[in-house]
Chain A
Amino acid sequence: MAKRIDVSDLNVYYGKFHAVENVNMTIEPRSVTAFIGSSGCGKTTFLRTLNRMHEVTPGASVTGKVMLDDIDIYDPSVDPVAVRREIGMVFQRANPFPTMSIYDNVLAGAKLNNQRISKRRADEIVERSLRDANLWDEVKNRLNKPGAGLSGGQQQRLCIARATAVEPAVLLMDEPCSALDPISTLAIEDLISKLKENYTIVIVTHNMQQAARVSDRTAFFNVEDTGKPGKLIEIGDTNKIFTKPDKKETENYITGRFG
């Protein structure tokens, strides 16, 4: 189920602006890869190119290759909609659909695509996804209430349940805890550790302790100056990046000397 992502010579542009320069990396299956770096260094932009979400932004374009196992997702014959079914995404701000109940939110992937599923199968998917997201016990008695009535942390876990319900191969998370309190953050970090048994997970975070806690590999991005493109400085095992990184810049960032 989990798949490997191979990125080679990836450049991202917004119109003429060169946003991310020349990224090469491999994202291993069944592991958590964290992206760290200061604001505006292109972490989120790069993350969004991994499931072609950046194409939603007018004027954005990409050169280079992103291989999902043996398929180049930027091949002209590849449909971005199909890519996004394989590579799910969780956003910084929890965004449950306000018109739908908790139950329907979890099934949104199927319902919005007009897939017909039996009631029994639907119940199974909802329960499994909500259990995976550590949310089942809190909401099992009010599945038909609106998703927008949950607390911020619960909404974010609902969004994770929604993303896992369609069983993607890869799960991208864009600062999933930045708007949450420490207890909800802990719940989501536990969830990430559990989900990595089945998924390839990529997480963008500003919280270095979080990166150190949840990730197996860490990638450090940096930008020399505003207006210059962001770059991948180094990627490696989390332990190594946080204890003896190869590059001076990484060490400076990790030890808090800048950024």
Chain B
Amino acid sequence: MTTATENTATGAAGDGPPLRTASMHTRTLPGWFPPVLLVACAAVVSGALFALGSFHPASATVLTALVYLIAIVVASAVVENGRKATDRLVTGIVYCCFVLAMVPLVSLLTTVVVNGVRRFDLYFLSVSMNGVIPSMDAGGVYHAIVGTLVITGIATAISVPVGLLTAIYVVEYGRGRLKAAITFFVDVMTGIPSIVAGLFVVALWIMIFGPGQTNGLAGAISLSVLMIPVVVRSSEEMLRLVPADLREASYALGVPKWLTIVKVVLPTAVAGLTTGIMLALARVIGETAPLILTAGTSSTRINANPAEGQMMSLPVFIYQQVRAMGSSGDAGVFSEERAWAAALTLILVVMLLFLAARLVSRFFSPKLGR
């Protein structure tokens, strides 16, 4: 600690470590250079492809990206230094990956919107398929919206209490073997294929009510089988994020454990819990296979009673319309239009639910204002 450290600068030549004379300044490419280079690359590549007579937007984009990456790295290595060249290369690759990830998303949304709006109107949203024969330019999705809301509503009403309480047990109370077993089986349940969940409920219904008795409730139960593990896992993570300090602060005030959980832990985690529940809901709202097996594919009328008969839902409606697309004449066209419009409806329903969840979590979450 006390030895002299001042000999490097004053020592005679040869008896200290060589002084580094490299300047801390490096030349930098101007800020406008990368975008201009990108445009130039795009122009050159397009020109070359046109000259060859093989222009296609996709191939032009890919080639432009490659040429740009090479050009920017060379330019940077010449003007700047090696480290900056690497930085520019990696920046370029990250942007490419971002664009690559956005392509399917944007393409999917535009396709659904463009094809969906042709039939998406108040009439479509407010009538069912009751009495509509294939060649009729009529019919709507109201019965499927009702079915989806009722089935996923019941599934949520079952899954949220069960899932949340399980998560609370695992995080706050669980010890030893039982906790390990619950965590393990929740993990296993996360991996259950959805059609197996549907088969399980069909078998259960046959056992209890006899064959051919499945209904909306059966669909809701099969969805809750899929939803519970997702709710448990996400709630577990959120509850673990609540600092132990807050629990201790509450205990130190003489608050019993259950009140600490209800009044300190849950309110602190509420934003994350809602988000987790919404993600689980979004996962099951588009489930098709278990609903085909349970709630059925042939319901055309409005049925809001989950305990009685078949119940249409949006994903099954889409499936059923897509299957009818092969019909001859106008019938096939109408089916296709209905399928797209129903897909748009489903996306809008999910978006509305997410919006609601955002508002809920913004309203309840801890505030950090002064």
Interface, chain A (partner B; CB < 8 A): 51, 53, 56, 58, 81-86, 88-89, 91, 93, 95-99, 108-109, 111-114, 142, 145-146, 148-150, 159, 162-163, 166
Contacts of A89 in B (CB 8 A): 248, 252
Q: Smallest Cβ distance from A201 to chain B, in angstroms?
A: 15
Other-chain residue from A83, A91, A112 in contact with B263 (beta carbon distance below 8 A)? A112
CB 8 Å contact bits of B335-370 with A (1 = contact, 0 = none): 000000000000000000000000000000011111
B79 at the interface (CB under 8 A from A): no
B93 at the interface (CB under 8 A from A): no
Contact A166 B253 (CB under 8 A): yes
Contacts of B254 in A (CB 8 A): 81-86, 109, 113, 166
Contacts of A93 in B (CB 8 A): 245
In the A-B complex, list the 8 residue pairs whose CB atoms are closest, starting with the nearest. A85-B254, A98-B366, A89-B252, A149-B370, A95-B245, A109-B253, A99-B267, A84-B254
| Residue of B248, B253, B263 most packed against chain A (CB within 10 A) | B253
CA distance in complex: A159, B245 (Å): 12
Contact A112 B248 (CB under 8 A): no
CB 8 Å contact bits of B248-262 with A (1 = contact, 0 = none): 111111111001100
CA distance in complex: A98, B245 (Å): 11
Of the A-B pairs whose beta carbons lie under 8 Å apart in the complex, a sample of 7, sorted by A's number, is A84-B253, A88-B252, A95-B245, A95-B246, A142-B370, A146-B367, A162-B253
Q: Smallest Cβ distance from B178 to chain A, in angstroms?
A: 14
B267 closest partner in A (C-beta): A99
Other-chain residue from B251, B264, B267, B268 in contact with A84 (beta carbon distance below 8 A)? B251
CA distance in complex: A190, B255 (Å): 29
CA distance in complex: A29, B370 (Å): 38
Contact A56 B366 (CB under 8 A): no
Q: Smallest Cβ distance from B263 to chain A, in angstroms?
A: 5
B301 at the interface (CB under 8 A from A): no
| Residue of B254, B255, B259 most packed against chain A (CB within 10 A) | B254
B175 at the interface (CB under 8 A from A): yes
Contact B248 A53 (CB under 8 A): yes
Contact A81 B256 (CB under 8 A): yes
B365 closest partner in A (C-beta): A99
Contact B252 A163 (CB under 8 A): yes
Q: Smallest Cβ distance from A79 to chain B, in angstroms?
A: 9
CA distance in complex: A58, B176 (Å): 11
Contact A113 B259 (CB under 8 A): yes
A110 closest partner in B (C-beta): B253
CA distance in complex: A88, B366 (Å): 25
Q: Smallest Cβ distance from B288 to chain A, in angstroms?
A: 40
Other-chain residue from B243, B245, B253, B267 in contact with A163 (beta carbon distance below 8 A)? B253
CA distance in complex: A10, B98 (Å): 62
Residues A146 and B259 in contact in the complex (CB < 8 Å), given A91-B249, A97-B246: no
CA distance in complex: A97, B245 (Å): 10
Q: Smallest Cβ distance from B354 to chain A, in angstroms?
A: 23
Contact A145 B251 (CB under 8 A): no
Contact B368 A148 (CB under 8 A): yes
CA distance in complex: A255, B268 (Å): 46
Contact B255 A81 (CB under 8 A): yes
B88 at the interface (CB under 8 A from A): no
Contacts of A58 in B (CB 8 A): 175
Q: Smallest Cβ distance from A3 to chain B, in angstroms?
A: 15
Residues A56 and B251 in contact in the complex (CB < 8 Å), given A81-B256, A99-B366, A149-B369: yes
Contacts of B368 in A (CB 8 A): 98, 146, 148-149
Q: Smallest Cβ distance from B276 to chain A, in angstroms?
A: 18
Contacts of B243 in A (CB 8 A): 95
B247 at the interface (CB under 8 A from A): yes
CA distance in complex: A149, B160 (Å): 32
Q: Smallest Cβ distance from A93 to chain B, in angstroms?
A: 6
Contact B366 A145 (CB under 8 A): no
Contact A84 B252 (CB under 8 A): yes
Residues A113 and B255 in contact in the complex (CB < 8 Å), given A99-B267, A99-B366: yes
B253 closest partner in A (C-beta): A109
Contacts of A98 in B (CB 8 A): 246, 268, 366-368
B256 closest partner in A (C-beta): A81
